[in-house]
Amino acid sequence: MSIKILQGDITKLNVDAIVNAANRSLLGGGGVDGCIHRAAGKELLAECRTLGGCPTGEAKVTGGYKLPCRYVIHTVGPVWSGGDRDEEKLLTSCYENSLVLAAEKGCSTVAFPLISAGVYGYPKDDAFRVAYDTIGRFLEEKGSDMEVSIVIFDRADYEKYKSIYG
């Protein structure tokens, strides 16, 4: 089982699939979503327009276009509203559904940003724990040898999670 913790910009990674923290429209936004659309080019938005959006907790896949990755898996994290609106369950589903799609596409390397931990306000340490635990459980249960990275944008956060989990 292989989970890596990386620091940097997810759009630069040479992996089979990167995961996007999208919104339900799938038509682009700020944060990592904006970075991914800018780096992929307008063909990504054109494909996203054909998908009819995506419910919270679910995931849809597109091509990577100008990105170095082959696929972008778009998942919609929950907006944090105190923790009693199924946020943890929905965030868990984001990771699980994204990994199911990655496996279906035959990906052996996948990278996730910290879904919901930016504009959507999920407390970062909890968001990291959900990511780490869910990915670990998925790989173990499926006996998968997929190599999954969690990409932390902020260097101080990266140092913290690396020292706790690395």
- Tell whether residue 119 is a contact of ligand ADP (CB under 6 A): yes
For residues 103 and 84, give the distance between their C-alpha atoms in angstroms, rounded to a whole number: 31
Site for ligand ADP in 49-108 (CB under 6 A): 77
If you search the block for the tokens 């706790």, which residue do you land on? 164
Q: Is the Cβ of residue 102 or residue 118 nearer to ligand ADP in the bound state?
A: 118
CB 118 within 8 A of CB 79: no
If you search the block for the tokens 């929950």, which residue do you land on? 78
Nearest to 130 by CA among 163, 154, 94: 94
Q: Is the Cβ of residue 120 or residue 132 nearer to ligand ADP in the bound state?
A: 120
CB of 64 to ligand ADP, least distance (A): 14
- Tell whether residue 35 is a contact of ligand ADP (CB under 6 A): yes
- Tell whether residue 18 is a contact of ligand ADP (CB under 6 A): no
Q: Is the Cβ of residue 43 or residue 125 nearer to ligand ADP in the bound state?
A: 125
CB 73 within 8 A of CB 59: yes
Q: How crowded is the C-beta side of 107, counted as CA atoms within 13 Å?
A: 27
SS3 49: helix
CB of 141 to ligand ADP, least distance (A): 25
Contacts with ligand ADP, 138-157, as mask; x by CB under 6 A: -------------x-xx---
Q: Which positions touch ligand ADP (CB under 6 A)?
A: 9-11, 21, 31-33, 35, 77, 113-120, 151, 153-154
